[in-house]
Amino acid sequence: MPGPINPGTRLAVALDVSDLSQAQSLFRKLRDFEVIYKIGPHLLFSGGFELISEIKKSGAEVFIDLKLYDIPNTVLKTVEQYIRLEIDYFTLHLSGGREMIESVRSRIDSDSGWKPKVLGVSVLTSFSAESWSLASGTIEEIGSAAERMVNHGVRWGVDGVVCSAHELDGLKRRHPELYTVVPGIRPAGYSAQDQKRVLTPAEAAEKGASMIVVGRPITESDVPERVVAQILNELGERSA
């Protein structure tokens, strides 16, 4: 049976699986749980549009994670498709800049139609301090870089950001109304794998995460329903 729902912190299941049939099977096992379904590029182009339709017909929410980063006109054309499909959440890179983000915000606000949440991506959770220094070509620390990008994104009109749970305290102090999405979540007893900055669901919820994203602990489980119920129970206990 589905576990209790934490009204403060939602669970998104990252459907990072190899093909449509596997994703459909997983969704059908979890459809009685009140969760969000996150779809990335490899599933989207392996039949994911069919799955989006099935998920939306069930009443559940869809989160498309393509991390858009292109000239404003190209990004806007993609956002038009998100609106047509009634996607609930989508990501773009904050490093795409002011014009890109403000044009997206303007389009979404321009009429009374479907309004997805715009989520900005700053620094990926797979970065360590050393790899970030090499990739960015600066000595700026991860936390400082993420803070700078988020501050810009808020001014330009994002609804929320994707961030490490370790950045949540500072973000909530500076932007208490900001919607925060936290990947790199691993329930107690699960390997961190390639994520470098991880917390448990309860720890992320305690810090004020709006949404947590969990993938492989669920998708690689023989009984994914049990893992989802465990996470929702943990979130429910934390909110009680």
181 to each of 49, 86, 212, how far by Cα in Å? 23, 19, 6
**Does residue 34 sit within a domain?**
yes
Residue 88's pLDDT is what?
A: 97
Residue 93's pLDDT is what?
A: 94
**Does residue 57 sit within a domain?**
yes
Strand 36-39, strand 61-68: pairing: parallel
Which CATH number fits the domain that encloses residue 43?
3.20.20.70
Q: How many domains does the chain have?
A: 1
pLDDT above 60: residue 238: no
Owning domain of residue 59: 10-234
Query: Using CB atoms within 10 A of its CB, is residue 169 exposed (0-12), middle (13-18) or buried (19+)?
Result: exposed
- Rounded mean pLDDT, 31-47: 93
**Does residue 1 sit within a domain?**
no
- Using CA atoms in the order 232, 161, 48, 229, what is the torsion angle rounded to 10 degrees? 0
Mark residue 67 as left, alpha or beta (left: phi above 0; alpha: psi -120 to 50; beta: remaining).
left
- Rounded mean pLDDT, 137-166: 83
CA count, 13 A, side-chain hemisphere, 108: 25
Residue 185 in tokens = 């979540």
**Does residue 71 sit within a domain?**
yes
Q: How far is CA 137 from the centre of its chain?
A: 26
**Does residue 239 sit within a domain?**
no
Is 207 tagged catalytic? Answer: no
Which residue(s) pair with 14 in the sheet?
Answer: 38
pLDDT above 60: residue 4: no
Q: Mind listing the pLDDT tens digit for each residue in 114-123?
A: 999 999 998 6
List, in sequence order, the alpha helices (H) in 13-141. Answer: 20-30, 41-43, 49-58, 72-85, 98-109, 129-136
Q: What is the pTM of this model?
A: 0.87
pLDDT above 50: residue 79: yes
Tell me the C-alpha distance between 98 and 7, whole Å: 32
- Lookup result for tokens 């023989």: 222
**Does residue 192 sit within a domain?**
yes
**Does residue 180 sit within a domain?**
yes
pLDDT above 50: residue 1: no
pLDDT band, residue 194 (cuts 50/70/90):
very low
Higher pLDDT, 82 or 139: 82
pLDDT above 50: residue 184: yes
- Rounded mean pLDDT, 13-33: 93
Q: Given 29, 56, 67, 172, which residue is catalytic? A: 67
**Does residue 4 sit within a domain?**
no
